[in-house]
Amino acid sequence: MEYEVVIGLEVHTELSTKTKIYCGCTTEFGGQPNTHVCPVCLGLPGALPHLNKKVVEYGIKAGLALNCSITKYGRMDRKNYFYPDCPKNYQITQDELPLCTEGYIEIELEDESIKKIGIERIHIEEDAGKLLHTGVGTLVDFNRAGVPLAEIVSKPDLRSPKEAVQYLEKLKSILSCIGVSDCKMEEGSLRCDANISVMEKGSDKFGVRTEIKNMNSFKALEKALNYETERQIVALEKGEKLTQDTRRWDDNNNITTIMRSKEFANDYRYFPEGDLVTLNIDDKWIEEIRETIPELPYEKEVRFVNEFKIPKYDAKVLTLTMSMAEFFEETAVLSEDAKASSNWLMGDISKIMKENAVWVENLKFTPKQLAELIKLINGGTISNAIGKKIIVDMFNTGKNPKVIIEEKGLIQNSNEDEIFKVVKSVLDNNGKTIEDYKNGRKRVLGFLVGLVMKETKGKANPQIVNKLINEEIKKY
Ligand SMILES: [Zn+2]
């Protein structure tokens, strides 16, 4: 039988407000355990919550950017459960009246067609504390308790692990672009759970689904969904009955393992949160929030292709984060060479950033300095090869490329007489290679150019080197 996979994602994103959702404690990541706390977020008796208006604003902003309708008369609810990371023994969240409903994200399929993935709802809620399992026992840190979250629930519209990754990537880029979340998966500010089932291809009756938790990267998401698809198909083929389980992705062993079965599902006994007033959101405020939404990544992507004439692939990569998009745009305008700006950012600079775990916003050099480097190369002052060395120095020190060039004496040599001497000596010493060339192996030219560049420590103007070698080799 042929199968089709059905996936829906539940994404929790930490909203980047300065203070928590129901009290004035800081939301800053880390800190000494239990220092970002007060009676409200510790759930002490008698402490009363206040809803942070900024959290509602960010929730609405996310909803508008994701094409949702905003619920004007909403409320907060209690979700009751007992667990050591939840000090009140209930979480204040939204049940029947989520802040936003019925939105969508568009993803591009392999055949370049556009597919709409529905968003069922977005609701706001508080995060729980963190349990630290140590050798002596389990400790609890409530710094994260009360940090605001938006939970974004997709419809079961995704039909492959790849589509799920695309959806999450797009969601991440939109949320970080509008500034409601920093979406750092490694710090837990973007977390994703998946509901997944398989059904007979072409059927409209979904199979029994499992929920997968603990996927902390795009790679883990794709691997977990691929594994789970395969596991469910194998079980069905064997005639086994699938059960509605919650499973955990085990990144070390590349498998999903069962956490709990739905037979023991919690009854959360939701009821309205009596300590908070109902939400009454007026159109004027919604419109004011709409005004604050900047150009979105996919809009930017289209504009970059049209305005800067860079390939679609480049535009896609450069608009994955707002900071990268802005860095590119400024560099492209100042250097008047968009393709070179894109190449540097996607190539050498991304590589160095990755190696050093540095974000674009923490780079020591500015778009203006990168534009200057590009202009120095385009103007023939330095070669591209030297540029690659300079960018490392710029990354480490933030110095201007001109300063580095002067300090290290890296100016490109375009003196034909001087280069001629080196070319001549290289040719004189490589008779065998010249023979190869005469026997039709034209590629050896590159090798000879390399030798000259090496001899001149990368400073010779490559165009002149190429020209001279081409001219001189014929004389042998
Ligand atoms: Zn607090």
Name the pLDDT band for 265 (thresholds 50, 70, 90).
low
343 shares its domain with 434: no
253 shares its domain with 393: no
Residue 349 within a domain:
yes
Question: From the CA of 148, how far away is ligand 1's center (Å)?
Answer: 12
Closest CA to 9 of 249, 235, 223, 215: 215
| End residue of a domain, out of 228, 260, 287 | 287
| End residue of a domain, out of 377, 408, 439 | 408
* Percentage of residues in the chain having pLDDT higher than 70: 99
pLDDT score recorded for residue 166: 93
Question: From the CA of 176, how far away is ligand 1's center (Å)?
Answer: 25
Question: From the CA of 39, how far away is ligand 1's center (Å)?
Answer: 6
- Ranges of H-type helices in 260-383: 283-291, 297-308, 312-318, 322-335, 338-344, 350-356, 367-378
pLDDT score recorded for residue 380: 81
Task: Give the CATH number for residue 451.
Answer: 1.10.10.410
Residue 292 within a domain:
no
Question: From the CA of 182, how far away is ligand 1's center (Å)?
Answer: 21
Question: From the CA of 30, how far away is ligand 1's center (Å)?
Answer: 15
Residue 93 within a domain:
yes
403 shares its domain with 433: no
pLDDT score recorded for residue 266: 66
Name the pLDDT band for 264 (thresholds 50, 70, 90).
low
Question: From the CA of 49, how far away is ligand 1's center (Å)?
Answer: 9
128 shares its domain with 174: yes
Question: From the CA of 43, how far away is ligand 1's center (Å)?
Answer: 9
Residue 135 within a domain:
yes
pLDDT score recorded for residue 120: 97
Q: Please determine, for residue 322, whether its predicted confidence score (pLDDT) is greater than 90.
A: no
Question: From the CA of 183, how far away is ligand 1's center (Å)?
Answer: 22
Question: From the CA of 82, how far away is ligand 1's center (Å)?
Answer: 20
User: Rounded to an integer, what distance in angstroms lies between the CA atom of residue 37 and that of residue 146?
Assistant: 9
pLDDT score recorded for residue 440: 86
Residue 395 within a domain:
yes
Token pair, residue 169, equals: 């990537």
Question: From the CA of 70, how far away is ligand 1's center (Å)?
Answer: 28
Question: From the CA of 144, how far away is ligand 1's center (Å)?
Answer: 10
Asked whether the beta carbons of 222 and 164 are under 8 A apart, the reply is yes
Question: From the CA of 383, how far away is ligand 1's center (Å)?
Answer: 57
Q: Please determine, for residue 262, whether its predicted confidence score (pLDDT) is greater than 70.
A: no
Question: From the CA of 362, how far away is ligand 1's center (Å)?
Answer: 30
Question: From the CA of 181, how far away is ligand 1's center (Å)?
Answer: 20
Q: In what order do the strands lie in the sheet with 100-108?
A: 69-70, 100-108, 114-126, 148-154, 3-14, 190-200, 210-215, 245-250, 255-261
76 shares its domain with 210: yes
pLDDT score recorded for residue 188: 83
Residue 17 within a domain:
yes
User: Rounded to an integer, what distance in angstroms lies between the CA atom of residue 41 and that of residue 27?
Assistant: 11
315 shares its domain with 357: yes
Q: Please determine, for residue 263, whether its predicted confidence score (pLDDT) is greater than 70.
A: no
Report the interhelical angle of 53-65 vs 283-291 (nearest 10°): 70
Question: From the CA of 26, how far away is ligand 1's center (Å)?
Answer: 8
User: Rounded to an integer, what distance in angstroms lies between the CA atom of residue 337 and that of residue 387?
Assistant: 15
Residue 188 within a domain:
yes
The values of phi and psi at residue 5, to 5°, are: -100, 145
352 shares its domain with 273: no
User: Rounded to an integer, what distance in angstroms lies between the CA atom of residue 78 and that of residue 59?
Assistant: 18
130 shares its domain with 166: yes
Selection from 107-116, 122-131, 198-207, 252-261 with the highest mean pLDDT: 122-131
Name the pLDDT band for 461 (thresholds 50, 70, 90).
confident
User: Rounded to an integer, what distance in angstroms lies between the CA atom of residue 263 and that of residue 243?
Assistant: 9
Instruction: Look at 203 and 67; give whichever has higher pLDDT.
Output: 67
Question: From the CA of 23, how far away is ligand 1's center (Å)?
Answer: 5
Question: From the CA of 73, how far away is ligand 1's center (Å)?
Answer: 26
429 shares its domain with 402: no
pLDDT score recorded for residue 462: 85
385 shares its domain with 430: no
Asked whether the beta carbons of 304 and 330 are under 8 A apart, the reply is no
pLDDT score recorded for residue 364: 95
pLDDT in tens, 159-176: 999 999 999 999 998 998
Question: From the CA of 75, how far away is ligand 1's center (Å)?
Answer: 21
Question: From the CA of 67, how far away is ligand 1's center (Å)?
Answer: 32
Residue 87 within a domain:
yes
Question: From the CA of 50, how far away is ligand 1's center (Å)?
Answer: 10
Closest CA to 85 of 31, 146, 134, 26: 146
pLDDT score recorded for residue 121: 97
242 shares its domain with 95: yes
Question: From the CA of 104, how far away is ligand 1's center (Å)?
Answer: 34
302 shares its domain with 433: no
Question: From the CA of 41, how far away is ligand 1's center (Å)?
Answer: 4
Question: From the CA of 448, how far away is ligand 1's center (Å)?
Answer: 68
Question: From the CA of 32, how far away is ligand 1's center (Å)?
Answer: 15
Strand partners, 463: none
Question: From the CA of 355, how far away is ligand 1's center (Å)?
Answer: 37
Number of domains, the chain? 3
Question: From the CA of 418, how far away is ligand 1's center (Å)?
Answer: 72
- Ranges of H-type helices in 196-296: 218-237, 283-291
pLDDT in tens, 375-400: 999 988 888 888 999 999 999 999 99
Question: From the CA of 280, how far away is ligand 1's center (Å)?
Answer: 24
Question: From the CA of 20, how far away is ligand 1's center (Å)?
Answer: 7
pLDDT in tens, 10-59: 999 999 999 999 999 999 988 899 999 999 999 999 999 999 999 999 99
pLDDT in tens, 391-447: 999 999 999 999 998 888 777 888 889 999 999 999 999 989 888 988 888 888 889
Domain that holds residue 106: 3-287
DSSP states along 322-348: HHHHHHHHHHHHHHS-HHHHHHHIIII
Question: From the CA of 76, how far away is ligand 1's center (Å)?
Answer: 18
| End residue of a domain, out of 353, 373, 408 | 408
* Residue 301 Cα to chain centre, angstroms: 15
